[in-house]
Every structure is written in C-alpha cells, then in structure tokens.
Amino acid sequence: MLQIFFANPWLVAVAEIALVPLVGVVVGIVVISFNVCRRKIRLAQFDFELKRDMLQRGMSAEDIRTVIEAGRPAVSNRIPKTRGDHLRDNQNLAAQPT
C-alpha cells in the first residue's frame, strides 16, 4: 500500500487536499450538534429550576402557567409578509392623497 505513495509522491498532496476539508466538515458538524444538544439540555434545566423555585414559593399551577406564558413571545396567526408585500404597502401609502 505504501509503495504507491513512494512511487507517486504527488498522491500524498492529493490525499491531504481531499481529506483535510472532509475532516474539517465532519468535526464542524459534530461540534455544532453537540452544542445544540447542550443548549437544549441547559434550557430544560433553567425551565425546571424556575418551576421548582415557583413551587417552593407556594405558587399555584395556574400562576406558574401564567408566568411561563408571559415570558414566551406571542405567536402570530398571520402569514409573514414578503419583501414584495412591504414594497406594495409603501407604494399604496405614497399614492394615497393626504
């Protein structure tokens, strides 16, 4: 196997050029996946600690639900506007007489 590399030294350079980016991509994907999982676990721990603290303070389940929902962003039922919709709205506003 190594005789091929001794006979053709340029194959070493080709192998390095091919393997280094591949290893970099694989390592990057593993690191990103690890951090995403770690973040989800940490958020679950924060949520658990908050609920446990509120229970220790004697809050009811309804009070806890109210506090949790107040901290979350509101979910909109409407479809988000596209860039074209915003441009059309601006043109309509400019065309309206004052």
> Within a domain: residue 89?
no
Residue 90 pLDDT > 70:
no
Residue range of the domain that includes 50: 2-72
> Within a domain: residue 29?
yes
User: Structurally, how many domains does the chain consist of?
Assistant: 1
> Within a domain: residue 65?
yes
Return the pLDDT at 9: 84
> Within a domain: residue 68?
yes
> Within a domain: residue 15?
yes
Residue 74: band (very low, low, confident or very high) from pLDDT cuts 50, 70, 90: low
pLDDT tens figures, 10-66: 888 888 898 999 999 999 999 999 999 999 999 999 999 999 999 999 999 999 999
CA distances from 64 to 30, 44, 46, 53, 68 (A): 37, 16, 14, 10, 6
Return the pLDDT at 53: 95
Q: Are 63 and 54 in contact (CB under 8 A)?
A: yes
> Within a domain: residue 84?
no
Residue 98 pLDDT > 60:
no
Higher pLDDT, 32 or 3: 32
> Within a domain: residue 10?
yes
> Within a domain: residue 63?
yes
